[in-house]
Amino acid sequence: MSFLSSLLSGPARADDRLSVSLMLTYSCQLKCGYCQVLQRGSRITKKVIDGAVSFLGRSAKKKLELKFFGGEPLLEFELLKYAVTQAQRRLGAKKDLQYCLVTNGIGLDAAKIAYFKGLPSQVVFSFDGGAATHAAFRSGPGGNSHYKDISANLRLLAASGAYFFVNVVVSPENLRALRRNLEHIAGLGVKRIQLCYNGAAFWSGPDIMRLVRTLSAFRKSPAGKKVSFLNSSGDSEPVALKTDLIVDTDGLVYMDGAMFMEKRFPGGRRHFFIGEAAGLGRPEDVYADRREHLRRWRKVCACAEEKKVFLSSLKTGAALGLLFRGPGKQTAPARAADRRIF
């Protein structure tokens, strides 16, 4: 199996829960160094939420997910609750609904944790490890990383029994601290981690090897044995070919790479545009598989530097696929891949 065909293979989407993300707001208390979301200041409206819930509900699938994204979605908690109320009222009786919150954790207090625990839901908590890493990579205006509050809220979440996992972002610049950061996270009682490599950075061959070796050593350590990595499940790698749909604050629907990589790849919004939620049919009719994502990424990458960064992200994903899912399901990155992808 070639590098490219191994990236495009994976479990059939037909068995998955169909997921639509809602961009609730572009505002956020933080200004993470690796953040690729352009913080525009706009937020969603009830009318757009109604249209997005209708769009999700037009799916023929029984199992559906409504995911709350930002920016920081908890800054619009009242609108988030409105979306849940509407989805429950209109779809709750006929669909198997699940919710997902992706949060920086600053506003996740006991009351909000109880709210999500009362729903069929999962919380994705963004947390990169120790205070020094947060100060360097996840600070807000004035250098405030809110670290004390965030780590206290993570402890609260871990003790609550709510279903959650931690999303850890690693960049080539902080690879040295990764082992220490993962041990720190495991020490807070976290049992599930999604390792997210910075897709806007260039990953050299030695960087990828170092990432793989660090993860491999951590997984064999006493702390690592208590943690499972979501990277090992389903079609999670490579992240660049993730096939989710997202409804923007203005009601326009995109493949989600459009906005989560927008600073580094400004062409994404144009090439990943699908249409207006209100005017579209079923989500599965506009859903695009990995092959189609790759075809559009070829258009998005407008210069040699963008191609180089994107390709290094695919290679990193392939290497993690090999690490987490084992040989035979992924092949190691190959130089020939450069020519086949671009």
Residues that bind ligand SF4 (CB under 6 A): 28, 30-32, 35, 37, 70-72, 104, 126
Nearer Cβ to ligand SF4 (86/145): 145
Whichever of 19 and 126 has its CB closer to ligand SF4, that residue is 126
Put the strands of the sheet holding 252-255 in their side by side order. Answer: 228-229, 192-197, 164-170, 121-126, 96-103, 63-69, 18-23, 245-247, 252-255, 273-276
CB of 7 to ligand SF4, least distance (A): 25
102-117 burial, b at 16+ Cβ within 10 Å, e below that, comes to: bbbbbbbeeebbebbe
For 53, the token pair is 């819930």
Shorter beta-carbon distance to ligand SF4: residue 71 or 283: 71
Give least dist CB 35 to ligand SF4, A. 3
Retrieve residue 205's tokens: 């061959």
Min dist. Cβ of residue 327 to ligand SF4 (A): 33
The residue among 31 and 340 lying less far from ligand SF4, judged by its C-beta, is 31
296 in Cβ contact with 74 (< 8 Å): no
Which helix or strand (DSSP H or E) is residue 64 part of?
strand 63-69
Cβ at position 24, least distance to ligand SF4 in Å: 11
- Rounded to a whole number of angstroms, the minimum distance from the CB of residue 217 to ligand SF4 is 27
Query: Hey, how many other C-beta atoms are within 10 angstroms of the C-beta on 78?
Result: 7
Q: Are 237 and 318 in contact (CB under 8 A)?
A: yes
5's enclosing H/E stretch is helix 3-8
Residue 260 C-beta: closest distance to ligand SF4, Å: 9
Q: Give the ranges where 96-200 is alpha helix by DSSP (H).
A: 110-117, 131-137, 147-160, 178-187
**Nearer Cβ to ligand SF4 (31/176):** 31
Residue 30 Cβ vs ligand SF4, minimum distance, rounded to whole Å: 4
Q: Which is nearer to ligand SF4, 195 or 294 (CB)?
A: 195
**CB-nearer residue toward ligand SF4: 146 or 296:** 146
